[in-house]
Amino acid sequence: MKANYPSTTLMTGSTGFLGNFVLRDLLNRGRRVVAVLRAPLAERRERLLKVLEEIGLDVRGCVISGQLVLVEGSLPDNLPAPTWGRTDGILHNAASLELFTNGDPQGDPYRTNVEGAKAVTAWADRHGVSDILAVSTAYTCGWNSGVIPETFHEPQPRFQTDYEKSKWLAEILFHQWSQQPGRTLTIFRPSFLVGDSQTGYTTQFAGFYQFARLVGVLKQQYHEPGNGRSTYIPLRIPGKGDDVQNVAPVDFVSRMIAEIAVRPEYHGRIYHLTNPQPPTNDLFKRCYEEYFGLHGGFFAPADEVVGQCTPAESLLWDQYHLLTPRVVHTPRFDTSNTQRVMQKLGIAFPVLDRDRILMLLDWAAARNWGRNTGGRKLDPARLVHSRRSRSEEIEKNKP
Ligand SMILES: NC(=O)c1ccc[n+]([C@@H]2O[C@H](COP(=O)([O-])OP(=O)(O)OC[C@H]3O[C@@H](n4cnc5c(N)ncnc54)[C@H](OP(=O)(O)O)[C@@H]3O)[C@@H](O)[C@H]2O)c1
């Protein structure tokens, strides 16, 4: 039997880390979703159904009832024809998370993120869709500092990575599209995502997890059995103890996206889906020390550490190129639009305190930091490329 659903959302990127949670939350709110999956469809479909079940929703019934329609397509060239009937809105969540181009300025991340955004707006125009919700990133602010507003960042900021620039270019394209009367654009800007705040579940093991894994390696290398549980490793940590790292649990971000998506009265704004009380570097340091059994780290000016590391420091800071600039550049995000919706709907931010950070670490460590678990892994080629080019790129892009 085919149920009648009030609204249909075309969604990209539902097979990704955030997309899995957003799809679950949209379906739980009764939304009909047409999810665009890359080929091979059968393989992506099976993985999607498995992950959704792991995060608490058996969607086979939704597929049978027609609440969830799975179609093949990809960006930028292969969005599907609307064989499912009317589309009320597009939730564009797909992106390439490549930090830098591989020397090809037409390649990723630009191809998926910028050409993909053009393709989404063209598809909307072709099929009479006037409501686009796009997932961006809080770091379209680039090197801008101070309080980052929930507005478009113009003039163009200086960026740390091609990824940030590609997401900024996409925002501007969507903004231009929305200037025609009758069109509505909503932009979601999450900061760094970590696992589910209640369970720890994640399928993405970059950033926070990648760093934690390196701390674990450091411990293994310097641990002397017989010297007690806590290993003394004196090393400098670039940055200040009271600087913050803006990480946000994936379930909070997905819930906000879904709640706003199903309520047109909240569309048409930019939302910073960031942590209103981000953990300090010092809290992270204490959690890592406690979890892995270490002491001896101390904060030092970044320019005294990066590039002039001891062997122990090298393990963390030479290989941890991917997040080093974010350790030393920590803007604050205005969240007025987001707070208004949270207050209206009675949503609280799940504070990342010691217990929650240890729970996230524990969940990921038990899955061997995403290795051998079928989680979404970083492409090793991408890592090698990023490592090689990272220092040059950061230097070049510094303000
Ligand atoms: N993760 C974070 O910390 C973070 C922070 C801020 C903002 N965001 C934003 O949040 C969104 C989701 O990110 P995520 O972390 O969930 O990324 P992810 O796990 O890498 O997922 C990316 C999704 O996009 C799809 N995709 C990639 N290239 C595509 C293409 N050319 N055509 C069609 N689909 C394509 C992927 O499909 P396949 O499954 O087929 O690969 C997947 O569904 C992105 O817009 C990202 O910029 C993420």
Ligand 1, atom 13, lies closest to the CA of: 18
The C-alpha angle with vertex 258 and arms to 173 and 278, in degrees rounded to 5, equals 85
Helices first, then strands: H and E counts in the chain: 15, 13
Ligand 1 pocket: which residues have CB below 6 Å? 12-13, 15-19, 38, 44, 74-75, 93-97, 112, 135, 137, 167, 190, 192-193, 204, 376
DSSP result, 233-292: EEEEEES-TT-B--EEEHHHHHHHHHHHHT-GGG-SSEEEE--SSPPBHHHHHHHHHHHH
Tokens linked to 279: 């953990």
Average of pLDDT values for 319-338?
Answer: 77
Tokens linked to 250: 């994936």
pLDDT, tens digit (0-9, with 9 covering 90-100), for 12-28: 999 999 999 999 999 99
- Prediction pTM value: 0.93
Conformational region of residue 103, where left means phi above 0, alpha means psi within -120 to 50, and beta covers everything else: left
Q: Which of 25, 34, 38, 72 to mutate to test the pocket of ligand 1 (most atoms within 8 A of CB)?
A: 38
Q: Does 324 have pLDDT greater than 80? A: no
Measured CA to CA, the distance from residue 369 to residue 344 in angstroms comes to 37
pLDDT, tens digit (0-9, with 9 covering 90-100), for 138-180: 999 999 999 999 999 999 999 989 999 999 999 999 999 999 9
The 3-class secondary structure across 36-87, one letter per residue, is: EECCCHHHHHHHHHHHHHHCCCCCHHHHHHCCEEEEECECCCECCCCCCCCC
**pLDDT, greater one: 88 or 378:** 88
Q: Select from 301, 258, 299, 304 the least CA-distant residue to 30.
A: 258
Distance 390 CA to ligand 1 centre (A): 22
Distance 208 CA to ligand 1 centre (A): 17
pLDDT, tens digit (0-9, with 9 covering 90-100), for 39-84: 999 999 999 999 999 999 999 999 999 999 999 999 999 999 999 9
